[in-house]
Structure 1
Amino acid sequence: MDTTTPTSPGLPDHVRVLVVGAGFGGLGMAIRLAEHGEQDFLVIERGDDVGGTWRDNTYPGAACDVPSQLYSFSFAPNPDWSRSFSPQPEIQAYLRRVAERSQVMDRFRFGTSVDDATWDAERHRWRVTTSAGALTADVVVSAAGALSDPKMPDIEGIDTFQGEVFHSARWNHDSDLTGKRVAVIGTGASSIQIVPEIAGKVAHLDVYQRTAPWVVPRRDRAYTRLERLAFRHVPGLQKAYRTAIYWGREALVPAFTVNPKLAMPAKKAGLVNIHRGIKDPALREKVRPTFEIGCKRILLSNDYYPALDRDNVDLVTDGIAKVTGNAVVTREGVEREVDVLVVATGFHTTDLPIAERITGRDGETLAAQWEREGMSAYKGATTHGFPNLFFLVGPNTGLGHSSMVFMIESQIAYVVDALREMTARDIDTVEPKPAAQKRWNRDIQRRIRRTVWSAGGCSSWYLDAHGRNVTLWPRTTFTFRRLTRRFDAGKYLTTARTRTFDDTAAALTEKTEQPA
């Protein structure tokens, strides 16, 4: 089945569950809903295919920095990874195969974006307006993700640049960089993959660095044909690989966030990586990080530093003052002419754009609530004031050491169990009690204050405008899985469903509260 074409062009008038987004989260949610007998659901996706982040990020060198064996659904292992760290085309191809085999693609509508989702306080359902029409839903699951909306830098004059400008997540494949003067703004995870890929073909490359990241060697290798045959045919072998890699990361990385001494081997590896890759002592000093390792995302690359050491590459550490029609001007007044401007400045992670389009029970958008109170959710999944709204990859569920697919599957299980509980107990609506949500987030922020993310001397994309880390999960992933294994209805305000429905009144007659 062609996953890029919806099997039915129209939208239903109403569904029990509406899922927004078709990346790992939305696809996994659809598969699990079907497996648990839920037939009345729909997945809408603004793109033209499944894949989410891995559909959109097609820049040169795009690859995962989590080992391949961890970067797949537990229920759909992939014995065909070519390398220990998967390149983007393989991840996207994997998601397409899973989608094709799932037999749920008739529930997907591509090229359909959410314009507005408003809670109907009278009928107790979501009224959703999309680019393809309107519908209502009992439950909305946002699987839009945190790495879905590129963030452009606020630089004076960037909109006046006469050359080509594009974000790394919206790579222009029609642009031939051969022999051109190119500038890359940013030195994060995307940039360190892009720079080595284009440095050899451009006439000159300027890389604009605000803060030097920690870059450790990428222990990547190709799997042999024998290994791949064994993964496919030897029972339990691939699962054993996956389990060993999982526990190897889980045992060490979360611990060093609160004990910097445990990070010394990684720190030494990063410094050795600099000395091996760069000959120029002055350049070595420019790329030497000034904050504790782990404060920002630790990056993986064997060829980033050698690329910076090329004669046709300059690392620019002066801040950017403005962009003119044909150049980037630094704060020291140096003007560097360029033909192409590549923006690798990340995503809207602490101000999710979809929140602006969701209006809750009290008539306030989720974005307004989060701007006032800070982005937060109970178990990263639900928010008070927004009944029957669930998140996958919600606030404080991100990772810096392991696979987000593990976290996504944990949250999917929580949502599925919530739906099961609602059916079994004839519950119409659920929303977390304010006390439960506050207690959950106070505990997270208390734990985060002890970590290198807060005390490591950096300012990262993990932090919101108020300096709160609203992105990362501060405990082990197996703890998160344990805490989301079952839907804890006692932490929720619930309303019971009546057996009849009056067209002019709400379907709810009873509101129950249990102690948090």
Structure 2
Amino acid sequence: METTDRSHPNAGTGRRALRVGIIGAGFGGIALAVKLKAKTRAEITIFEQDSGVGGTWWQNRYPGCEVDIPSHVYSFSFLKWDWPRTHATQPELREYAERATEIFGIRDNIRLNTKVDRAQWDEDSATYTIETATGELHEFDFVVSSVGLLNVPRYPDWPGLDSFEGVSFHTSRWEHQHDLAGKSVAVVGTGSTAVQVAPALAARVEHLTVYQREPGWIEPKHERAYTPRERAFYRRVPFAQRAHRLLLLAKANRRFKAYDTRSRMQRKMQDLCQDFIDRTIEDPETRAAVTPTYAWGCKRPVVASTFYPSLNRPNVTLVPRAVTRVTKNGLIDADGVERKADVLILSTGFQPQQFLSSVDIRGRGNLSLHEAWAKRATAFLGVTVPGFPNFFILYGPNTNGGTSIIAQLERQAELAVRAIRRIERFGGRVVDTDPSMLARWTAWIDEQLETHASAMNSGCHNYYTLDGGANVTQWPRTHWIYFLATRFLARRGLIFSDRVDTPRSSGSTRDHTSKPILLRSSSRAD
């Protein structure tokens, strides 16, 4: 690290507090704010475009909405909670997020109904200027994006969609003012959201038609309410909830081996899902229609107990074909068959490949982050990008997965906090990223996706890959490996400096673009 200028206002503990702007008050933004408050003296401002906290759990309010990961894993490591069920519902997760902001005293740091449009780096002052949708300007020493990955709905481009005369909306923008009782409802999609929506609607509507472009592997969730005795045990016994969390993580780590198409675990997961189909679906044609022909893990694995049984209902029809066109009264499938519908519900997913699409981030030389990612979104450890100093990303490229996204977000938050704390304690103005380390990291990611997560590229439609074939969203190993990477590789890729111009590489001047990072682990650990 270069010589520190102690006269700079950001340097040393006797100077003013560093200012950190966080974009998004979902689980990532909350985790970051809590850890910043615990480890630094930073002045924190969180900008949230919605009228409440929780991110995706604020936005998604469709019937049946709940997490498909056990509650004790899908929660913060630093906040024990009296979960009433094995899998938390959307209202419970919203309450959890809100209570976290109150318990850790960050509620007053959040500005709700405030959308960030732009963050501009200034070389001379080594600061970012954040501009909100209303034109307000705010200056920060560091900016962290926590806008999430699954928050921009994907709307299909079917011919005739605009001409549909019934009610139409996306599941993530649910319109609760409509009474669906007695209606003919079409749900398009059979992903993680649709398999919750369909069973919740089946008992309320006159007829439900579910359109399936391609089946997904579905395993039973085994959700249930905790008994009073279980809740008391987890509430009162020290470390009981944490021990259960660690046990669930260990099980998930073993299960992750199934992403290798050559593994015995791959066969085991397919057999488990096939047995679930055979046990729960009565009609042989429906059983065949929902059985995938590709490897388990090619799509995001779906965990749901009630979807298959709902297909047995007399008022539910599964159409195992894609929608190709919409008429004013219904939908036409790939076989040219039209089916009438009063209500069209789009469970057509999101646009996860378009990272930070709602915010214009400008780094050195006024370079746009979207321009830097024109060919492919990449970030060192999924968190930092060369040429965008003092800027961190939570839920960035190739960080989705790894058992629990909450755990992944905590590791990313801790990386950012360590960097900010180093500037705070030892001085300096800028933390940037070594381009050669990003190149090596990206090469390592691609290598791991090819070997340890080959199922993700085994011939299905998924949201992971670009048109050119690069997987830009998924983390290819377990959370344990990500923990090690964020803990020990950051010091090799981050460059701390007093200079505001482009810093020197922290590594060798040799070209590393073709060499992957060496991050080894025993098979037992992974």
Question: What is the TM-score of this pair, normalised by structure 1?
Answer: 0.91
Question: In structure 2, what is the equivalent of residue 382 of structure 1?
Answer: 384
Measured after TM superposition, the shift of residue 32 of structure 1 is 1.0
AA aligned to 1:410 is R
Measured after TM superposition, the shift of residue 342 of structure 1 is 0.6
Q: Which runs of 5+ in 2 are unaligned?
A: 1-16, 509-526
In the alignment, the residues of structure 2 paired with residue 64 and residue 316 of structure 1 have an alpha-carbon distance, to the nearest angstrom, of 26
Give the counterpart of 1:177 among 180, 185, 188. 180
| Cα gap change, 1:511 to 1:305, in 2 (>3 Å) | closer
The answer to whether the 8 Å contact 2:62/2:172 transfers is yes
Determine whether 1:17 maps to 2:20: yes
In the alignment, the residues of structure 1 paired with residue 330 and residue 57 of structure 2 have an alpha-carbon distance, to the nearest angstrom, of 31
Q: Which moved more, 1:243-252 or 1:484-493?
A: 484-493
Aligned residue runs from structure 1 range 431-450, under 5 A:
431-450=432-451
Question: In structure 2, what is the equivalent of residue 245 of structure 1?
Answer: 248
The answer to whether the 8 Å contact 1:381/1:392 transfers is yes
Q: Which moved more, 1:307-316 or 1:180-189?
A: 307-316
Kindly provide the CA deviation profile for residues 195-226 of structure 1, in whole angstroms up to 9, marking residues without a partner as x.
01101111111111111010111122221101
Determine whether 1:413 maps to 2:448: no
1:275 alignment partner, SS class: helix
Higher relative contact order (CA 8 A, sep 6+): 2
AA aligned to 1:436 is M
2:357 alignment partner, SS class: helix
Aligned residue runs from structure 1 range 19-418, under 5 A:
19-78=22-81, 80-132=82-134, 133-254=136-257, 256-257=259-260, 259-354=262-357, 357-372=360-375, 374-399=376-401, 402-418=403-419
The answer to whether the 8 Å contact 1:181/1:203 transfers is yes
In the alignment, the residues of structure 2 paired with residue 141 and residue 72 of structure 1 have an alpha-carbon distance, to the nearest angstrom, of 21
Measured after TM superposition, the shift of residue 323 of structure 1 is 1.3
Residue identity over aligned pairs, in percent, reads: 36
Question: In structure 2, what is the equivalent of residue 484 of structure 1?
Answer: 486
The answer to whether the 8 Å contact 1:495/1:509 transfers is no
Kindly provide the CA deviation profile for residues 59-106 of structure 1, in whole angstroms up to 9, marking residues without a partner as x.
11111111111111111011x211111111111111111111111111
Determine whether 1:426 maps to 2:432: no
Measured after TM superposition, the shift of residue 318 of structure 1 is 2.7
In the alignment, the residues of structure 2 paired with residue 257 and residue 95 of structure 1 have an alpha-carbon distance, to the nearest angstrom, of 35
Q: Which moved more, 1:124-133 or 1:217-226?
A: 124-133
The answer to whether the 8 Å contact 2:387/2:502 transfers is no
Question: In structure 2, what is the equivalent of residue 514 of structure 1?
Answer: 506
Question: In structure 1, what is the equivalent of residue 8 of structure 2?
Answer: none
| Cα gap change, 1:296 to 1:361, in 2 (>3 Å) | same
- CA root-mean-square deviation: 1.9
Kindly provide the CA deviation profile for residues 255-310 of structure 1, in whole angstroms up to 9, marking residues without a partner as x.
54353421222211211211222111111111111111111111112221121222
| Cα gap change, 1:435 to 1:510, in 2 (>3 Å) | closer
1:183 alignment partner, SS class: strand
Measured after TM superposition, the shift of residue 490 of structure 1 is 4.2
In the alignment, the residues of structure 1 paired with residue 53 and residue 358 of structure 2 have an alpha-carbon distance, to the nearest angstrom, of 22
Kindly provide the CA deviation profile for residues 171-209 of structure 1, in whole angstroms up to 9, marking residues without a partner as x.
111111111111111110000000011011111111111
| Cα gap change, 1:255 to 1:264, in 2 (>3 Å) | closer
Q: Which runs of 5+ in 1 are unaligned?
A: 1-13, 498-507
Measured after TM superposition, the shift of residue 22 of structure 1 is 0.4
| Cα gap change, 1:512 to 1:467, in 2 (>3 Å) | closer
Measured after TM superposition, the shift of residue 509 of structure 1 is 7.6
Please list every run of at least 4 consecutive aligned residues from structure 1 whose deviation after the TM superposition is greater than 6 angstroms. none
The answer to whether the 8 Å contact 2:415/2:490 transfers is no
Q: Which moved more, 1:251-260 or 1:463-472?
A: 251-260
Question: In structure 1, what is the equivalent of residue 514 of structure 2?
Answer: none
Measured after TM superposition, the shift of residue 512 of structure 1 is 4.4
Give the counterpart of 1:462 among 461, 464, 472. 464
Kindly provide the CA deviation profile for residues 138-167 of structure 1, in whole angstroms up to 9, marking residues without a partner as x.
111000010122111222221222211111
Count matched residues.
490
Question: In structure 2, what is the equivalent of residue 11 of structure 1?
Answer: none
Measured after TM superposition, the shift of residue 453 of structure 1 is 3.3
In the alignment, the residues of structure 1 paired with residue 443 and residue 370 of structure 2 have an alpha-carbon distance, to the nearest angstrom, of 20
**Higher share in strand:** 1
AA aligned to 2:224 is R
